[in-house]
Chains A and B, each alone.
Chain A
Amino acid sequence: MGVTWGVLQFPGSCDERDALNACSLAGDAQLVWHDDRDLGGIDAVVVPGGFSYGDYLRAGAIAQFSPAMGAVAEFAAAGGPVLGICNGFQVLCEAGLLPGALLANENLRFNCLQVDLIAGDSDSPFMRGIENGERLSIPAKHQTGRFFAPEETLDRLEANRQIAFRYAPGQNPNGSLRDIAGVTNETGNVLGLMPHPEHAVDIGAGGSADGLRLFAALGMVAA
């Protein structure tokens, strides 16, 4: 089967079951409790969505100090693939594993809608088989999803091909700068995005299975 996934679970996570399901469609999958410092020989990590530790202080701020996130930081530094979704994206930004920060949505509302994402030109292992410019239909649901980074950082992200996904023109639901929906770290092995690929893995439940492609990508041989 290939890839064995570990899906983190914090107090306050709520999307770990769907992430586990998505991972098991593309390999084997197990949950990793936030107190666990041992990731247990997995090949890839998902930091799932939800409201870790109640999102107190700032979304994702407290989760970065959990023992499991300490292990994830080492795993990522060694080149291990890490996918952060929604709150998981916020956690990875707070932990400094991804650039930028997520601010309150421009309209201050909790937005829940299906959006089209445009894939960027990226070497990330989660983007294998996904062509530059391709459209993916993925649901987004969040209140703190406005991607922010200073202008010079945004320029650098573009130059380094670290922008994995943008919202399709006219579909930016949160005021993210340059329509950014997801970014990678410099080496591409860490990817975070606000929309939820794990909720789009079954065409019978939501009308799109485009999200599955990010999970299936890891099983593909690098081009």
Chain B
Amino acid sequence: MKARILIRPKEGILDAQGKAVERALPALGFEGVGRVHIGRLVELEIENADQLESLCEKLLANPLIEDYEIEQIGES
């Protein structure tokens, strides 16, 4: 199957990248933007979909600091 995995910093963990972008926006004239969070998007094709969870836990995300969501985007 084809899958899309969205990985982002856990709620409550300082997201330094998101903060930097948030602070840069007013300088560009974009007011009223807040709670910017930056994550990572991984797309892959996998033969054995049962392995997706453990693949995320072991490599794609660090469960201590990141949450992930798996979305199936098609049969390959």
On whether the beta carbons of B20 and A103 are closer than 8 Å, the reply is: no
B40 → A minimal CB distance (Å): 8
Complex Cα gap A146–B14 (Å): 10
Instruction: Contacts A103-B65, A148-B65 given; indicate if A57 touches B60 (C-beta within 8 A).
Output: yes
> Nearest B residue to A150 by beta-carbon distance?
B64
Instruction: Contacts A57-B59, A57-B60 given; indicate if A101 touches B65 (C-beta within 8 A).
Output: yes
**Which of B17, B60, B64 interacts with A149 by CB under 8 Å?**
B64
A47 → B minimal CB distance (Å): 17
Instruction: Tell me which residues across on chain B come within 8 A of A103, comparing CB atoms.
Output: 13-14, 16, 65
Complex Cα gap A122–B52 (Å): 40
Complex Cα gap A104–B60 (Å): 17
Name B residues whose Cβ lies closer than 8 Å to a Cβ of A: 13-14, 16-17, 20, 40, 59-60, 62, 64-65
What are 8 A-B pairs with beta-carbon distances under 8 A? A62-B59, A100-B64, A101-B65, A103-B13, A103-B14, A103-B65, A105-B16, A146-B14
* In the complex, per-residue mask of A137-161: 1 if CB is within 8 Å of any chain B CB, else 0: 0000000001011100000000000
> Nearest A residue to B63 by beta-carbon distance?
A101
Complex Cα gap A101–B62 (Å): 8
On whether the beta carbons of A104 and B64 are closer than 8 Å, the reply is: no
